[in-house]
Structure 1
Amino acid sequence: MRGPTARHVGLLALACAVASLTLAGTADAQERSRRFGRRGTPLPPVEDVDFSAFNVPYDGRFTFVRLRFTPDWAGWGGGGGFFGGVNYQWDHDYPRAERHFTKILSELTTLDVTVEASNILAADDPELSKYPVAYVSEPGHWTQTDAEVEALRAYLLKGGFLIFDDFQGSHWFNFEEQLRRVLPDLRLVRLDASHPIFHSFFEIETLDQFYYPYPPYQPSVFYGVFEDNDPTGRLLLIANYDNDVGESWEWSDRGFIPIDLTNEAYKLGINYIVYALAH
């Protein structure tokens, strides 16, 4: 996966891959037909929503997994909305973000990637153990049951890797509080560009180009947690604080976010996956 061709894939190649993304108009129309409800009406009970309706069975390929949770707040509209127009927080940018990312991941690496679908799983779903990487959006609104806490701890300690994304400002406090339930003795370490995760596929020499894509455009900071709190050991997770990598993936074909930022977001995502699979 890290041969000369892969190592030297640069901005031009990535831009070409992004340009190859096409709008799936028919699929989007079908997705919209699955939605229900409207603003001003009560939110549907979570137990009545089949979040796994679009999941695919495990078949050995790399499949993008998004963790779902009961948020501390949900409402109509906002960054989510795929499931009946309800914003469940964890569903921000779904499914366009993973649809675009897996296409780029498949085109630029030799990984065998599921590009036709992605999975949504709860932390205490036994199926999660089959997937080495999971993505968590909006951890500022993250809540967990005791069962989910125990399951997520086991997932991480058995080799799983988590990517936390799309949170900023005061959302940090809830993120850290919930994460400490999973790993009580954790030490969150600020990562710089020297860490191997930023060199696992693309050579990301600096992190200065990353920032939150909306006002006030604050610089992004990357944090990690290491096994046994040993910075020379295995990285269990990475947190994109003051960042929204998924947003850049989602809108990379629309021009809403600068192309240089979307390209860098794809580089981050690919590096995360390659690093996690190699460790």
Structure 2
Amino acid sequence: MLKRLLITVLLLLPLLAAGPAAPSFRIAKLHYGGGGDWYANKTSLPNLIQFCNRTLNTNIDPEEGTVELDSPELLTYPFVHMTGHGNVSFTEAEAKNLRHYLTGGGFLHIDDNYGLDRFIRPEMKKVFPELEFVELPFSHPIYHQKYQFPRGLPKVHEHDGKRPQGFGLLYKGRLVCFYTYECDLGNGWEDVGTYPGDTPAIHDAALRMGANLVAYALTQD
């Protein structure tokens, strides 16, 4: 089902500029177990969707989906976003279903909202025991879709004085998971004013990078 959905989306991309007549699809936030706040950043995906529809001429459903790891509905989403600060735990069945989703054409964006890193790395090892997260070079196409990011990810929030990094899991040469670390990209998508000190420029840069993720997920081979 996922492959059929992705093929449909790819065929329709040239027609999306025609406006609201083009069929819509939905992107989702991942509901995972372990007690972490998977539900964080309540305004982030709605704002990203609105930005993509306005600037990329997509027609994404303005209402985000919520999907659990073991749900068959996971296979209906071309783009899934995961965030949080704390613990993450995948069951064997969840890891198997997530692998099925990602190897079948799906795309997962993991955004460390600070504190996620030490939990998500071992859990993704359950999904792809044969793969390691690798930092993507700044020349990677994900940084060069409609918007150019020649220095990589924008820095939204400071945590431990580290530079923002974008890591990928590459399955048979295809980027199936993009992990944004020390960046807080999803925080940048939230409503301006949610975090004191965040400027409209930071908000715009975060949305532009987010639009690149969505565009890449929909068009990569």
User: Taking structure 2 as the reference length, what is the TM-score of the superposition?
Assistant: 0.82
Match of 1:178, SS?
helix
The 3 A distance-change label for structure 1 pair 243 and 141 is farther
Residue 132 of structure 2 corresponds to which residue in structure 1? 187
Contact 2:33 2:90 (8 Å CA) reproduced? yes
Partner amino acid for 1:112?
N
Matched, 1:64 2:27: yes
**Distance in 1 of aligned mates of 2:41 and 2:195:** 15
Which structure's relative contact order is higher, taking Cα pairs within 8 Å and 6+ residues apart? 2
Unaligned stretches of 5+ in structure 1?
A: 3-58, 74-87
Per-residue deviation, residues 171-219 of structure 1 (Å, max 9, x unmatched) = 4222110000000001211012200111122122112x62251444532
Deviation string for 1:108-164 (max 9, x for gaps)? 01211111x111010111111111110011275211111111100100100100000
**Selected match of 1:269 from 204, 210, 218:** 210
Closer, same or farther in 2 for the Cα pair 1:133/1:189, shift >3 Å? same
Q: Does 2:188 align with 1:248?
A: yes
Aligned to 2:45, the other structure's residue is in SS state helix
Query: 1:276 is aligned with what amino acid?
Result: A
Of the three residues 154, 158, 167, the one matched with 1:210 is 154
What residue number does 1:197 align with? 142
Number of aligned residues: 201
Decide whether aligned partners of structure 1 residues 255 and 124 sit closer, same or farther in structure 2, where only a CA change above 3 A counts: closer
1:224-246 residue CA offsets vs partner (Å, 9 max, x unmatched): 01113xxxx21111000112111
Indicate conservation of the 8 Å contact 1:248/1:265, yes or no: yes
Local SS of the residue matching 1:141: coil
* Deviation of 1:255 (Å): 6.6
Quote the offset at 1:254 in angstroms: 5.0
- Contact 1:140–1:175 (8 Å) recurs in 2: no
Q: CA RMSD in A?
A: 2.3
Larger Rg: 1 or 2? Answer: 1
Query: 1:63 touches 1:131 (CA, 8 Å); kept in 2?
Result: yes
Quick one: structure 1 residues 159 and 195, their matched pair in 2 at CA, closer, same or farther if it must change by over 3 Å? Answer: same
Q: Evaluate the alpha carbon distance shift between residue 158 and residue 139 of structure 1 in structure 2; reply closer, same or farther with a 3 A threshold.
A: farther
In 1, the alpha carbon distance for the partners of 2:143 and 2:182 equals 18
Distance 2:97 2:195 in 1: 39
Partner Cα distance (2:37, 2:23) in 1: 29
The aligned residue for residue 200 of structure 2 is 259
Identity %: 25
- Is the contact made by 2:156 and 2:188 (CA closer than 8 Å) also made in structure 1? no
Structure-2 residue corresponding to 1:105: 52
| Per-residue deviation, 1:105 | 0.8
